[in-house]
């Protein structure tokens, strides 16, 4: 009788182990998320499903142009691109990014900006002093983030600078829909 019971419930232990491994990986390494809205177009589309990689920022700092996921409010997570790093002055003039007074190309929006030429600015002019908090330099442990769809993005221009502790991870892979599978650039 005991052998029959053991045989019948022998699958419980391996299933519990698998569950614990999946929980551990999801908690500390990789998490799925779906894009909600057009703010990162053309790089990411509404309802793209992504994998967020959490581990690398435990050992290195976020880098310029990383696409990150951060906790914007208690209920809402946003996906945006890091533009400004701690200690930098940031300004957008005539659809061009300037970091510490030096022009920095943004290849991920270059084609869109060119296509919209003559239809007004893609990114309205601003500097750090125009953002909530009126900074002159990005403080330590803070980042300036913008959506790639600058005309339709709730980002640092409205939210202010993002604290490093609010960053959940780096968007690394699109896994759905199938025709968009690939690395997030």
Q: Kindly report, residue by residue over 129-173, the tens digit of the pLDDT.
A: 999 988 999 999 999 999 999 999 999 999 999 999 999 999 999
Q: What is the dihedral of CA 84, 114, 93, 85, to 10 degrees?
A: 0
**pLDDT tier at 12 (50, 70, 90 boundaries)?**
confident
Paired strand residues for 81:
67, 146
- Output the pTM of the full model: 0.83
- Catalytic residue numbers read 39, 80
Q: Kindly report, residue by residue over 76-134, the tens digit of the pLDDT.
A: 999 999 999 999 999 999 999 999 999 999 999 998 888 887 788 899 999 999 999 88
Domain boundaries, the chain: 32-183
Q: Kindly report, residue by residue over 37-53, the tens digit of the pLDDT.
A: 999 999 999 999 999 99
Task: Work out the average pLDDT over 6-21.
Answer: 67
Q: Kindly report, residue by residue over 105-115, the tens digit of the pLDDT.
A: 999 999 888 88
3-state secondary structure 21-88: HHHHHHHHCEEEEECCCCCCCCCCCCCCEEEEECCHHHCCCCCCCCEEEEECCCCCEEEEEEEECCCC
Q: Is 9's pLDDT higher than 70?
A: no
Q: What superfamily does domain 32-183 belong to in CATH?
A: Umud Fragment, subunit A (2.10.109.10)
**pLDDT tier at 21 (50, 70, 90 boundaries)?**
low
Res 25: pLDDT: 57
Res 24: pLDDT: 57
């Amino acid at each position: 009788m005991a052998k029959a019971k053991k045989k019948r419930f022998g699958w419980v232990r391996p299933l519990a182990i698998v569950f614990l491994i999946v929980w551990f990986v999801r908690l500390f390494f990789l998490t799925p998320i779906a894009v909600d809205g057009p703010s990162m177009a053309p790089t990411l589309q509404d309802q793209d499903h992504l994998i967020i990689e959490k581990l690398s920022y435990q050992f290195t700092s976020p880098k310029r142009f990383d696409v990150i996921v951060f906790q914007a409010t208690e209920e809402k997570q946003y996906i945006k691109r890091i533009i400004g790093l701690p200690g930098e002055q940031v300004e957008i003039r005539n659809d061009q990014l300037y970091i510490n007074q030096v022009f920095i190309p943004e290849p991920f929006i270059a084609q869109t900006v060119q296509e919209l030429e003559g239809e007004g600015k893609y990114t309205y002019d601003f500097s750090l002093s125009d953002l909530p908090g009126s900074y002159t330099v990005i403080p330590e442990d803070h980042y300036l983030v913008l959506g790639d769809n600058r005309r339709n993005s709730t980002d640092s221009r409205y939210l202010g600078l993002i604290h490093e502790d609010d960053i959940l991870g780096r968007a690394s892979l699109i896994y759905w829909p199938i025709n968009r599978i690939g690395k997030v650039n």
